[in-house]
Structure 1
């Protein structure tokens, strides 16, 4: 399986031609050769939506070196913690690198030979764990996505999501493996330059998370301005049914998808022709995968794209496959008689806000000292319940959280409540709070 495919093309926004075929292969080979002189061990890459970052990723892939694709804007303390725990061979592309070289590796074992990719999974809170993904898992998921979404050489997609985010990276991988074109841009969907490049390059497909679709509605997105656009895809959380209907009515194909970083990217896709009768479903398992619900209602996924396991330290990188292709998703739901997945909740207190995973318990810990508070979450929103703060202070709390978690302030709502509901055990009754939201 060729990766990238000989017909794959990368275009930097503003460049008319881009790189493909032998030219692209030559740049990837050169990048791989530049990594050969580094000491053994994993690589840390500040993954931007740029040619330089993509070549760093592909160079590591072709040199057989595991690489962690990280948020280039990670706080220095978080990056330092990761470097101390995983002892990378090099920090590549960070604008605010650590003082001095990475910590020495000492007698640490070499990473497992199957290990190809490391992605952070804890989102914007806490000290990230890394998801260990084999090269085979990455290729299997990319091929399954390309097949299910009919991605071929005629498809042109922009980088509408960060490439260090599993959904954004899966767009890149599924296009590179199928000979399609990726337009690399660091502009966001709310910037005019994004849409100017989208139109100039004749983009045919766009991937977005629920928050982006909400913003597109507010900006009165009109597909008629982009006649080449035929396909929209959505993952990263639940999208309101009315938005699904609205955007599905503007294009030939609208794909609702379900996935997790722990499954490389995606596990299920709702075929466009089943939107009408399966609206609200997360879809069917990808080719080669299988979904089921256990006796407690937790969704289990079986497939070749399941991670090898988590990593907390450099020692974990030497481990083989801990999961055997079975992922306990932490989501509650059911699989209907037709095989379609329906998500009903979460086992743990995690939420996705604008596509970023947020630990609600971490948010509560951040608010210690602000009086009695509880935190719940809904679609693209964290709700903080407080007994004490006046309205101006509640606004300030929302904006402070947004700044600390590096999320848009509209993802936080602070509500006053006379008294937080409690269970008989004395713990906060989160279900009652969720019913009030």
Structure 2
């Protein structure tokens, strides 16, 4: 695996003229890797920012053969302390909040599996997340398959428009580094002028976004013609409204609609731009090396990029491959006669708000003190159905969720109902609520 990153890969700090590449990049990675080899057994917890130090630490952990958990750098001290207690990391780096005492708990009874490379949280900002165990082979297979499907080459340049602790953002980094391309590191968001200044200054050729970001671009009247080097737009992280797919496909030289899950390292299917007109609503074909099937209405993915399994405690890090390359996605859908995937719903209660995965049951748990509550999902939003609230109460509840989950309050549609619909079993009738949405 020493050929990752590719010898021609380049890292550029936004606004700086020089790139870190070649021997200089290798030297910096190896110097940091030597430090990591001196740590005791266990994973490295990395607060993964869109900056050079974080990326070098990630690549150094890869070089040193040490598993690294790429986590939200702004995790609260309480959430970080809870994860430390469960997973006993060998070290912590890059977090906004200091944690008192030793970063390590009791030494694990068994060392992490030698093929374990990356750990990513499953549930966005809610609950006590399980970690997805990704092998070295899975990370590299997915990076190369994405580079193949999107025709990424050494001349391509991508900005970090998404968080690198998010599987989609990480896959942009990995696929470009595997292909010998360039990644421009920036923490600036799409609403900041500096983002577009750096995108043009570094002649970025592609831009990755989730549905919420494309909604913002629509409101900003984004026109790729104003950015001459930008030829490719990619979209994943949830379903983009069909009218926006049509809009951006019309103005971009290449617009890729994609589908994926953290449990498959990142991406599972890609819709080639030339098939957008005759496959509206499709999530595309399986990535090279992968295969899609349907079992009882549920989408099942077979491929080398499937996770080893979940981890809830440090003991799970020693486990080998539990899934054998087969992932039951929890998504419902069908395949047409050419193998194109069409998604129709979720078998599990997971939603995405602005590209962040949210467990609907966890949201209900957060609101137990608010009386009878039910939570359903829609396109890039979560709907909260609450008994006995007035308009002001609905607004306060949406803002509370925004604060507690560190997401913009507009991602929560709080609606008052006289009484929640119930099934004969005494459970909430979620289908009836979804029909009202």
TM-score, length of structure 1 as denominator length: 0.98
Partner Cα distance (2:19, 2:187) in 1:
16
Partner Cα distance (2:61, 2:355) in 1:
26
**C-alpha displacement at 1:306, in angstroms?**
0.3
Partner Cα distance (1:275, 1:91) in 2:
44
Aligned counterpart, 1:18: 19
Aligned counterpart, 1:330: 330
Question: Aligned pair 1:305/2:311, yes or no?
Answer: no
- The answer to whether the 8 Å contact 2:5/2:178 transfers is yes
Partner Cα distance (2:422, 2:92) in 1:
47
After superposition, where does 1:78-117 map in structure 2 within 5 Å?
78-117=79-118
Partner Cα distance (1:108, 1:42) in 2:
14
Aligned counterpart, 1:250: 251
- The answer to whether the 8 Å contact 2:108/2:315 transfers is no
SS in 1 for 2:344: strand
Partner Cα distance (1:107, 1:385) in 2:
43
Partner Cα distance (2:145, 2:93) in 1:
30
Aligned counterpart, 1:341: 341
**C-alpha displacement at 1:385, in angstroms?**
1.3
**C-alpha displacement at 1:418, in angstroms?**
2.5
**Structure 1 runs not aligned, ≥5 long:** none
Partner Cα distance (1:256, 1:284) in 2:
10
**C-alpha displacement at 1:3, in angstroms?**
0.7
**C-alpha displacement at 1:333, in angstroms?**
0.8
**C-alpha displacement at 1:105, in angstroms?**
3.6
- The answer to whether the 8 Å contact 2:47/2:54 transfers is yes
SS in 2 for 1:277: coil
**C-alpha displacement at 1:249, in angstroms?**
1.0
Residue deviations 1:213-256 (CA, integer Å, cap 9, x gap): 00111111111210111000000000001001111111111000
**C-alpha displacement at 1:107, in angstroms?**
5.0
**C-alpha displacement at 1:97, in angstroms?**
2.3
SS in 1 for 2:316: helix
Aligned counterpart, 1:397: 397
Residue deviations 1:342-380 (CA, integer Å, cap 9, x gap): 111111111011111111111112112222221111001
**C-alpha displacement at 1:415, in angstroms?**
1.2
SS in 2 for 1:276: coil
Partner Cα distance (1:369, 1:5) in 2:
52
Partner Cα distance (1:116, 1:239) in 2:
31
Partner Cα distance (2:40, 2:108) in 1:
13
Residue deviations 1:174-209 (CA, integer Å, cap 9, x gap): 000001110000011111111111111111100000
**C-alpha displacement at 1:91, in angstroms?**
0.5
Aligned counterpart, 1:376: 376
Aligned counterpart, 1:179: 180
User: Using a 3 Å threshold, how does the CA distance of structure 1 residues 260 and 56 change in structure 2: closer, same or farther?
Assistant: same
**Structure 2 runs not aligned, ≥5 long:** none
Bigger mean CA deviation after superposition, 206-215 or 411-420: 411-420
**C-alpha displacement at 1:106, in angstroms?**
2.8
- The answer to whether the 8 Å contact 1:394/1:414 transfers is yes
SS in 2 for 1:144: helix
Partner Cα distance (1:159, 1:191) in 2:
13
Aligned counterpart, 2:63: 62
Residue deviations 1:39-94 (CA, integer Å, cap 9, x gap): 12111000000000000000000011111000001111111111111111000122
Question: Aligned pair 1:314/2:293, yes or no?
Answer: no
SS in 2 for 1:304: coil
SS in 1 for 2:139: helix
Residue deviations 1:78-120 (CA, integer Å, cap 9, x gap): 1111111111100012232210222344352011111111111
- The answer to whether the 8 Å contact 1:376/1:430 transfers is yes
Provide the aligned C-alpha RMSD in A: 1.0
Partner Cα distance (1:259, 1:47) in 2:
21
**C-alpha displacement at 1:389, in angstroms?**
0.8
- How many aligned residue pairs are there? 436
Aligned counterpart, 1:240: 241
Residue deviations 1:308-336 (CA, integer Å, cap 9, x gap): 00001111111100000000101111111
Partner Cα distance (2:18, 2:326) in 1:
42
- The answer to whether the 8 Å contact 1:91/1:97 transfers is no
- The answer to whether the 8 Å contact 2:113/2:319 transfers is yes
Partner Cα distance (1:298, 1:107) in 2:
37
**C-alpha displacement at 1:31, in angstroms?**
1.3
Partner Cα distance (2:21, 2:102) in 1:
35
Aligned counterpart, 2:120: 119
Partner Cα distance (2:140, 2:262) in 1:
14
Bigger mean CA deviation after superposition, 366-375 or 146-155: 366-375
Structure 1 runs of 4+ with >4 Å offset: none
After superposition, where does 1:13-52 map in structure 2 within 5 Å?
13-52=14-53
Partner Cα distance (2:403, 2:216) in 1:
20
- The answer to whether the 8 Å contact 2:88/2:106 transfers is yes
